[in-house]
Amino acid sequence: MFKWLIVGIAALIGAAIVFAAAPAPDDTGVLTITARYVKTPPAGIDDPAWQRVAPVQVPVAGRLEMADVKGTVSTKALFTDDELYFLLSWEDPTCSTVKESWQFDGTQWVHLKGDEDRIALLFEIARINQFSSKSCSVVCHSPADLPRSQWHLATKSPVEKGDLWHWKAARSAPYRHADDGWLTVAGNPTGSYRETGRRADAGDGGDIKNETPDGSRPLYMQDPARRPSVPGFLLLEEAVPITDYSIFRAGDVIPYRLPVKPSASRFDVKAESRHADGRWTVMLHRKFNTGQEDDVAFDVRRRFSFAMAAFDDSGADHSKATRSLVLDFKR
């Protein structure tokens, strides 16, 4: 009798600890993406480790020109002892990497219609007020007199800081990374948000516009002495100034935006990407702690609120996650 009583009491105490250990998921708009531990880093998009993780479908909805766009981004996350991996996959029938490339029509150079596909993640480096409950809408500001199309991304105060991972099909994918930037208060001293609060991390990267000072034609072409390391793209390090425009024939295309070789903190977020079967699949990964002030430092004991936006052949127009997202780590 006493033996069973002791067993019962021990079970009750054990149950109390278990209940206390399991944080109750609250009824809220927050969607949790749980990163699972793997000992060996996934080698790429097709690594079997990804098959063992259930995807979370992050709902996204468009704004402005993309107001009727609705979809989901299948999101998976893994982590090793020192690195975080995301696998993002979303439907996009067209692979857009044109980004207003130049085309010679036989008499003059014109910009092709078309932008690029992108996906962006935003984390908190330092607490952004209401970010965890209202997501990126709290950093999308504008003075009342500006139309929504001119809204910019910025935090409300200098103490709030975001970490922006921006994968761009035409401008960062060739170097297999996501442009690593950070978000702060708008640059305008009046604080009117007429300027963006986006800043690039330390180091080289990004892209330059390939155009002559008068903007009438491209300035650079592929170095004929070098084989393009990424076919279809013109990297700045492989470009040479055009000295003779007569070599071009009607229909020739030269990229308008030339990726600059990334380095230092701007090159922290590595990426693998593929467009196949009407879908983009992008793997992003970064060290937990880069030691840089312009990067969020991940800690597997904590939750990290984040936001997501997908861009379909567009510049500013995008579909953003309709729910606040949180990243959780589970061993």
Name the residues that contact another protein, by CB under 8 A.
2, 6, 9, 12-13, 16-17, 19-21, 23-30, 127, 129-130, 132-134, 299, 301-303, 305, 326
**Cα-Cα-Cα-Cα dihedral sign, residues 105, 110, 113, 114:** positive
Nearer to another protein, 11 or 112 (CB): 11
Nearer to another protein, 25 or 231 (CB): 25
Residue whose C-alpha is closest to residue 200's, from 173, 164, 249:
164
Rounded to whole angstroms, the Cα distance separating 205 from 164 reads: 14
Nearer to another protein, 272 or 295 (CB): 295
Minimum distance from residue 129 beta carbon to another protein (Å): 8
CB burial of 120-140 (b: ≥16 within 10 Å; e: otherwise) equals bbbbbbeebeebbebbbebbb
Minimum distance from residue 320 beta carbon to another protein (Å): 18
Minimum distance from residue 301 beta carbon to another protein (Å): 5
Minimum distance from residue 36 beta carbon to another protein (Å): 17
Nearer to another protein, 12 or 250 (CB): 12
Rounded to whole angstroms, the Cα distance separating 241 from 283 reads: 34
Q: How far is CA 157 from CA 127, 186, 192, 200, in A?
A: 10, 9, 12, 18
Burial class of residue 3 (count of CB atoms within 10 Å of its CB; 0-12, 13-18, 19+): exposed
Nearer to another protein, 28 or 229 (CB): 28
Minimum distance from residue 302 beta carbon to another protein (Å): 6
Rounded to whole angstroms, the Cα distance separating 203 from 175 reads: 14
Nearer to another protein, 11 or 64 (CB): 11
Rounded to whole angstroms, the Cα distance separating 211 from 220 reads: 8
Minimum distance from residue 303 beta carbon to another protein (Å): 7
The region that residue 288 occupies, defined by phi over 0 for left and psi between -120 and 50 for alpha, beta otherwise, is: alpha
Rounded to whole angstroms, the Cα distance separating 166 from 39 reads: 27
